[in-house]
Amino acid sequence: MTAEGREVIRIGAEAIVSRLTWNGFKLISKYRVPKPYRMPELDRWIRDRRTLHEAKVLHEAKKRDVRCPAVVLIDRSRSEIYMTEIEGKELKKCLGELPVRKVGKLASQLGEMVAKMHISGIAHGDLTTSNIIMDQEGRLYLVDFGLSSFTDEVEDLAVDIHLLDRSLESMHTEVREEFMRSFLKRYSEVAGREFTMKIMRKVKEIRMRGRYVEERRREVRNSYNQ
Q: Which amino acid, 44?
A: R
Residues whose CB is less than 8 angstroms from the CB of residue 105 and which lie 6 or more positions away in sequence, other chains included: 138, 182
User: Using the rule CB under 5 A, is 144 a contact of Mg ion?
Assistant: yes
Using the contact rule CB under 5 A, the part of the chain among 46-54, 72-80, 124-132, 193-201 near Mg ion is 124-132
Report if residue 112 touches ligand ADP, rule: CB under 6 A: no
**How far is the C-alpha of 38 from the C-alpha of 48, rounded, in Å?**
14
Of the candidates 87, 76, 83, 73, the one whose C-alpha atom is nearest the C-alpha of residue 28 is 83
Is residue 86 at the binding interface for ligand ADP, with CB under 6 A as the rule?
yes
Q: Pick from 146, 182, 187, 199: which binds ligand ADP (CB under 6 A)?
A: 146
| Interaction between residue 18 and Mg ion (CB under 5 A) | no
Among 18, 30, 47, 175, binds ligand ADP (CB under 6 A): 30
135 is catalytic: no
Q: Is 74 in the site for ligand ADP (CB under 6 A)?
A: no
Helix (H, G, I), strand (E, B) or coil at 32: strand
CB-CB contact of 69 with 143 (8 Å): yes
Instruction: Figure out which of the listed residues 115, 134, 140, 143 binds ligand ADP, where binding follows CB under 6 A.
Output: 143
83 part of the interface to ligand ADP, by CB under 6 A: yes
Q: Which position among 51, 79, 129, 131 is part of the footprint of Mg ion (CB under 5 A)?
A: 131
Q: How many residues does the structure list for the chain?
A: 226
* Alpha helix ranges (H) inside the chain: 40-63, 91-94, 100-119, 154-171, 173-191, 193-225
Q: If contact means CB under 5 to 8 A according to the sort of partner, which of Mg ion, ligand ADP, none does residue 202 touch?
A: none
| Number of CB atoms found within 10 A of residue 40's CB | 10
Q: Is 64:116 a contact under the CB 8 Å cutoff?
A: yes
The residues that touch ligand ADP, with contacts defined as CB under 6 A, are 9-10, 12, 14-15, 17, 28, 30, 69, 83, 85-86, 90, 130-131, 133, 143-144, 146
Q: Which residue numbers are catalytic? A: 126
